[in-house]
Structure 1
C-alpha cells in the first residue's frame, strides 16, 4: 500500500540541502522610497515576523527550501490583500533572489469648516462617502467620519484610492423633555450639506483621491431656517408614553429638541431643517402582570411587541396638526410553505429570514424570522407599521434549503419590489422552501490556464437569486434553485452591482451560461473577463 501525503507548500520542496535565506525590501508603491518599520510575515511552516530596517530591507534566515508568500503591513499603508488585488505567486526562496513588496500609502482629506462669516464651526460631523455594492446592491457608504475641533479643523485619514463625497451635518444629539412649550421666535441653524455647499447629492462635487494624496477642503456652512413638527399620538399608554425618531434619508436623526406630553400624546419636534423625513413612533410598554396561585401579582412571561407607526414627511416650513395612531398603519403577514423532504419529521424547523428595506430611507428596515421557534412568545409573523414607500423584500434561508418562490399576491418578489400604499391592504407574503437544490462547481481560467478571480452567479430571470460565490481558482456551491444562470469570472467581481440586470447585461456575452435542474451536479469553466468602470 502506498500513502500519498500532501505537505504544506513551504515544505513541499524541502530537500536535504542547506537552509536558505529569503531577502527583500518594502517600498512605497507611489514613490518607490523604502518603507522602514514595516511588519513582514511569512509561514515556514510556523509564522515568522520582523520589522524592516531603515532602508526597507528584511531577511529571514535558516529557512527550509520551498515557496513562501511574504506579507507586509504598516499603519498608513495598504497591502495588496487590503486593496483586493490578487495575490502574487509564491516566491521560490531557494533562488535567493531579493523580493520587492509594495505598500500603497493612505490618502487624507483634511480642511476647515466655517460659517457664513468665516468663523470656525466646532462639532460638525464630516463624512467621507463612496458608492459601494455590499451584497450586490449599490449604496452610498460612509467609510470615514470625524468631527471638527474648536478651530473648525477636520482630518479624514486611512482612505484608499477612489472617488468620494464629503457630507457635513450637525452632531446627532438632542434633548427630550416631557412638557410642551410655545415657540418664541424663528430658529436658525445648519442643515446637512454635501461639498461644496449643496443639499442634493446629485449636485455635489466628487473628490478624486489618489494613493498618498493630501486633499485640502474648505467648507462654508450658511445658516438656514429650522422648523417645528408637531401633532398628537393616539394609542400610547399615558403612564409609559412613547418615543419619537425623525430620520432623514441619510439615516441621521434630525431633531434638536423633543417635547412630549405623555397624558395627552401631544408632541413638538424642534430644530428640523427642510427636507424629506421619516417620523417613527414606538410606544413604551409597561410590564404585563398576571395573577399567581397565592393571589399576588407577578410579571408575566410573555412580552408583547410594542405598537409602532411610521409617517413620511416633507418639511418646507412648520408642520402642525399631525395625527398618528399607533398600530393602525399598513401591515403584512408572512406565510411559509415548507416543501422540503423532511418537513414532517419531528423537531424539524426550516426557517427563513425575511427583510424589508425602504427605498427612500435605506436605514429604515425590519426583519422577522419565520416560522417562529416553538415556545417563542415574543416572535411575530407580521411586519407592522409600514410607511407608504417601495420596499425591497429579501429572503435568506437558514439551512440547506432554498427559496423557490416569494410572492405577495400577484407580485413576484424574487423579481420585483413591493409597493406599500397608504390605503390598500396587502395580502400575505408567501414563501416556499425546497431542498432539491443543485450543486455547481466552477473552474476559473485565463488564456486556457487556471487563474484566480472572483466568481458571480447571475440570474436574469430572478436577479435576487444572484450571488457572489467567492474568489478562487476553483470553487463549489450547493442548494441552488433550479434555473438558468450566467457564471462570470472577474477580478473585483464582489464590487459589481450584481442584483441590477442593466449593469450585468454588459458582461453576459462573455459569461458561461448554465442550466441547473433539481439535484443536478454540474461543473463549468469560466474565463476571466475585465470589469468596466462604473459611473458615480
Structure 2
C-alpha cells in the first residue's frame, strides 16, 4: 500500500562548535563560557517563503519545566542563546501550518532529540512548514434542515495494542446553519463523524449544557457519507493546504431507550450525596458507534435516568467522592429493544491493599520518591489507585475495589525494571492479578536496578546517519506489546539511540525508515520484517552496542 501522506524534505542543519579564540584576558570565574545556542530559519514548504511570527520552542528533557522560546522575524530567522548543554526537543508552530519538530521528515515521524554540547553553536537549522488542510461542510436532518450543535470530528487511524483504531484529530460544533469547519489538519487520511445529542449544547471547552429530558428518538453517530458503521465509512485523503468543501452528512433519527436505576450507598447515609453516573460502551470496537451517556444522580433516593441510549453492550459506572476519598461501582448491562429499569449500583467501601517493595541491586531513583499504581487490567476506565512507597519499602493502596489489576511503578531511574509482582501466590507481572473483598493477600514487588542497556547507531545503506526514526526493542518468543519488555526511542541528530532498563532476555532491535507508531505490535505488519531485526541477548546489567542499517519500507508498501 502506498503512503498517502506527502513526505517533508529532510530537515537540514549544520553544527559548528565554537571554542574560545583568545588566551587573554581570561574569562571571569562566573562567566557562562559553556552555554550553547541554536539558530535557523522557518519557511513555507512550497516556494521557500520566509514565515514571520512562527513560534520556536526549545524544551529541556532533563528539566521539562525549563523551556526557552522565541518568534521568527520578518526574514523567518530565529536564534535562542544561553542554553545549557543537554538533551532537548525543538519545535516550531504557526497558525495555518502543521507544527513540526526537529528531525521530522513527515508530520507523524517521532522527531529527533537535539543533543547540545558545551559551547556549541548549532546554526542554519531549516524548518519547512506544511500548510494545514481543511474539511468543511454541513450537517442536515432527514428533512434537509440544518442541525446546529452537532459535534463533528476528523478521525485518523492509529495503532493501539496491535490493532488499527480511530483517534480524534480535531472536533468542532456546527453553527446555526449546520455548518462546520475542521481546520488545522495534517495531510493524511481522515474519517469524518457527526455526533448529535439533541438535549445537549456545547457551552465551552469540554463542557455541555443539558436542555431537555429523554426523547423517544435519537441520533446515532454518523460517518461520511452516511453510515453508522465505521468499517463502511469513506476515508478522505487531504493534501497539504487543501480545503475540501461541501461535505454534507445526513443524520437519521432512530429509536432510543432509557436506562433507569438507583444508587445505594453503604458508606454514607447522607441524602445530599451526588453521584456521577456514566454509561460507556463495553467493547472498544463500539466506542465510535455508540455514544457515551452520563447523568448526575443527586436526588435523595439516589435515582438516575440516562436517556437517548442506543441498543448495545455497556458498562454502567457510578463515581462518588467524600472527604478526599473516591468510590466507584460497576455493572455490565445490555440495552436491547426496550427501556432498562432497575439498573442499580451499590457504593461500598473498598479494601486496603498492603504491599512491600524490595530492591535487587542498589536502589536508584530519578524522583524524590517512589510510587506504585494500580490500573484496571480489563477496562480502561475508573479511578487508578496510587500510593507512595515509604523509606522502609512498605505501601498501602486504599479504596481498591474488586477487579483485575496490573501494577506499575514511577520514580525509579531509567536503568531499573519491574522484575516481579506477586499477589499472594499469584504471579501478576505479565497478566495482572484479581482482587476480591475478604482476601488477605499482600503485594510483593521486586525492582531491579541492574537493567541492561543497548546503545546503537542507525545508518542508511550509504552509511549516512538516520535522524528522527524509531529504534524499537521487541522480545523474542513473547507476546508483542507488553509494556515491561517493549521499548522504543527516537534517534538523535547523529543517528544514535540508547535503550535502558531492559530485563534479561532475548530481543530483536528494529528500525524502519517509515513506520506508524505502534505498527510493530501488529503481527501481520511485523511478519514481513521479522528476519531483519538485529538479535540481542541480554543479561542483567549488560551493555551491548549494535549498528543497524535502517529497514527500507517504501519498496515494501
Task: Measure the CA separation in 1 of the matches of 2:440 and 2:154.
Answer: 39
Is the Cα contact below 8 Å between 1:246 and 1:254 reproduced in 2? yes
- Give 1:74 shift: 4.2
State whether structure 2 residue 406 is matched by structure 1 residue 369. no
Matched with 2:73 is 50
> Which of residues 228, 231, 237 in structure 1 aligns to 2:269?
237
CA contact (8 A) 1:332 1:429 kept: no
Which of 463, 466, 473 aligns to 1:451? It is 466
Q: After superposition, where does 1:250-265 map in structure 2 within 5 Å?
A: 250=287, 254-255=292-293, 261-262=299-300, 264-265=301-302
The alignment status of 1:478 with 2:506, answered yes or no, reads no
**Partner residue, 1:188:** 217
How big is the shift at 1:221? 0.6
Match status 1:164 vs 2:164: no
Shift of 1:104: 2.2
> What do the CA deviations read for 1:125-148 (whole angstroms, capped 9, x no partner)?
111111224798854221111000
CA separation in 2, counterparts of 1:515 and 1:307? 45
Counterparts of residues 105-116 of structure 1 (less than 5 Å): 105-116=131-142
Instruction: Give distance in 2, aligned partners of 1:239 and 1:218.
Output: 48
Which residue of the partner structure matches residue 30 of structure 2?
none
Offset, 1:223: 1.5
TM-score calculated relative to the size of structure 1: 0.70
Structure 1 residue 160 displacement after superposition: 1.0
Once the two structures are superposed, what CA deviation does each residue of 1:392-449 show, in whole Å capped at 9, x if it has no partner? 84634420321123467898665557799x9999987764322221122112122244
Q: How many residues align?
A: 459
SS at match of 2:551: coil
1:353 maps to what in 2?
373
Contact 1:174–1:255 (Cα < 8 Å) also in 2 = no
Separation in structure 2 between the aligned mates of residue 374 and residue 240 of structure 1, nearest angstrom: 40
Equivalent residues of 1:115, 1:121 under 8 A apart = yes
Give secondary structure in 1 for the equivalent of 2:540. coil
For residues 554 and 432 of structure 2, the distance between their equivalents in structure 1, rounded to whole angstroms, comes to 27
Over 3 Å counting, the alpha-carbon distance change for 1:429 and 1:529 in structure 2 is farther
Q: Structure 2: which 5+ runs fail to align? A: 1-13, 23-38, 58-68, 79-89, 113-123, 201-207
What residue number does 2:115 align with? none
Runs (5+) with no aligned partner, structure 1: 1-7, 17-21, 53-57, 61-69, 88-97, 288-302
Contact 2:261 2:342 in 1 (8 A): yes
- Asked which structure has the greater CA Rg, the reply is 1
Three-state SS of the structure 1 residue aligned to 2:419 is strand
Contact 2:422 2:445 survives alignment (8 Å): yes
- Say if 1:494 and 1:516 are closer, same or farther in 2 by CA, change over 3 A: farther
Following superposition, the deviation at residue 40 of structure 1 comes to: 7.5
Indicate the residue corresponding to 1:326 in structure 2. Answer: 347
2:510 to 488, 502, 508: 488
Q: Give the drift of 1:493.
A: 5.0
Q: Secondary structure of the residue that 1:202 maps to in structure 2?
A: helix
Alignment match of 1:313 (pick from 317, 327, 333): 333
**Aligned residue for 1:283?**
320
Partner of 1:340: 360
Match of 1:441 in 2: 455
Select between 479-488 and 72-81 the one with higher mean Cα deviation. 72-81
Q: Which residue of 2 aligns with 1:384?
A: 401
1:432 and 2:449 correspond: no
Instruction: Check if 1:211 corresponds to 2:253.
Output: no
Whole-angstrom CA distance in 2 between matches of 1:534 and 1:118: 46
Distance 2:320 2:187 in 1: 46
1:247 to 2:280 alignment: yes
- CA displacement, residues 471-507 of structure 1 (integer Å, 9 cap, x when unaligned): 2211223222111111112235561334445543433
Separation (CA, whole Å) in 1 of partners of 2:190 and 2:178: 21
Q: Secondary structure at the match of 2:176?
A: coil
Contact 2:454-2:498 within 8 A present in 1 as well:
yes
1:394-433 matches, within 5 Å, as 395-400=408-413, 401-406=416-421, 415-416=430-431, 431-433=445-447
Q: Partner of 2:231: helix, strand, or coil?
A: helix
Q: Secondary structure at the match of 1:321?
A: coil
How far the C-alpha of 1:315 sits from its partner, in A, is 2.0
Equivalent residue number for residue 179 of structure 2: 153
Residues 176 and 190 (structure 1), Cα distance of their counterparts in 2 relative to 1, 3 Å cut: closer
**Structure 2 residue 534 is the aligned partner of structure 1 residue 508:** no
